[in-house]
């Protein structure tokens, strides 16, 4: 399917042209599968976020931060609208990261080895990079929703695009290196 897409694009633009060269660089199997699985991961993340947001609202959960911040502080006052969305975001993140690790390892970066030492190294590197992007995601969500009064779901979508780019860079350069793919299962 990816080859057919590239073939179609090269019929429209000569491979030697500037646009053709750009297509050749951007429409690789790896990037296209990353985008597809990135979108699927985003859908998993959004659905999980939505379901837990609705659940927390239905049970009257204000969020873990409202439970641990002292009541007579400015931070408590800022968070008085509830931080349930941050809790829902955390659960959505865990679900999406596990889904993403498996799909990235197997189909995007084609790291074939499940040798325990390599799989552990990839998983810990993946989790470290995702923790970093989660901190960025949570900070931007907090700014957009709590400080700028943005719609929670809109903020989640905007942040999702930023996180996809950050995560691809980390996965490509540091986690699923090509030399890992040659190791035996």
- Could you state, in order of their start, the residue ranges of all structural domains in the chain? 29-182
Candidates 106, 90, 120, 86; CA nearest to 37 is: 106
Return the pLDDT at 180: 46
- DSSP result, the chain: -HHHHHHHHHHHS-TTSHHHHHHHHHS-HHHHHHHHHHHHHHHHHHHHHHHHHHHHHHHT---HHHHHS-TTSHHHHHGGG--HHHHHHHHHHHHHHHHHHHHIIIIIS------HHHHHHHHHHHHHHHHHHHHHHHHHHHIIIIIT---HHHHHHHHHHHHHHHHHHHIIIIIS-GGGGGS--
pLDDT at 77 over 80: no
Whole-prediction pTM value? Answer: 0.72
| pLDDT tens-digit map of 27-64 | 888 988 998 998 899 899 999 999 999 999 899 888 88
pLDDT reading at 152 higher than 70: yes
Say whether pLDDT at 139 is over 90.
yes
- Split at pLDDT 50, 70, 90, the class of 183 is very low
Quote the pLDDT of residue 179: 53
182: pLDDT strictly greater than 70: no
User: Which pLDDT belongs to residue 73?
Assistant: 82
């Amino acid at each position: 399917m990816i080859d057919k897409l590239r073939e179609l694009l090269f019929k429209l633009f000569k491979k030697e042209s500037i646009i053709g060269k750009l297509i050749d660089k951007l429409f690789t199997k790896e990037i296209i599968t990353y985008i597809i699985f990135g979108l699927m991961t985003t859908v998993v993340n959004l659905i999980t976020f939505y379901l837990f947001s609705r659940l927390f609202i239905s049970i009257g959960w204000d969020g873990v931060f409202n439970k641990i911040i002292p009541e007579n502080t400015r931070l408590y006052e800022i968070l008085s609208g509830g931080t349930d969305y941050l809790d829902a975001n955390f659960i959505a993140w865990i679900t999406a990261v596990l889904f993403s690790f498996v799909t990235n390892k197997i189909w995007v970066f084609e790291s074939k080895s499940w040798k325990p030492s390599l799989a552990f190294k990839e998983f810990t590197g993946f989790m470290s990079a995702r923790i970093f992007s989660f901190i960025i995601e949570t900070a931007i969500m907090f700014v957009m929703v709590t400080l700028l009064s943005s719609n929670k779901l809109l903020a989640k979508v905007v942040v999702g695009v930023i996180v996809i780019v950050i995560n691809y860079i980390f996965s490509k350069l540091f986690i699923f290196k090509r030399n890992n793919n040659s190791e035996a299962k």
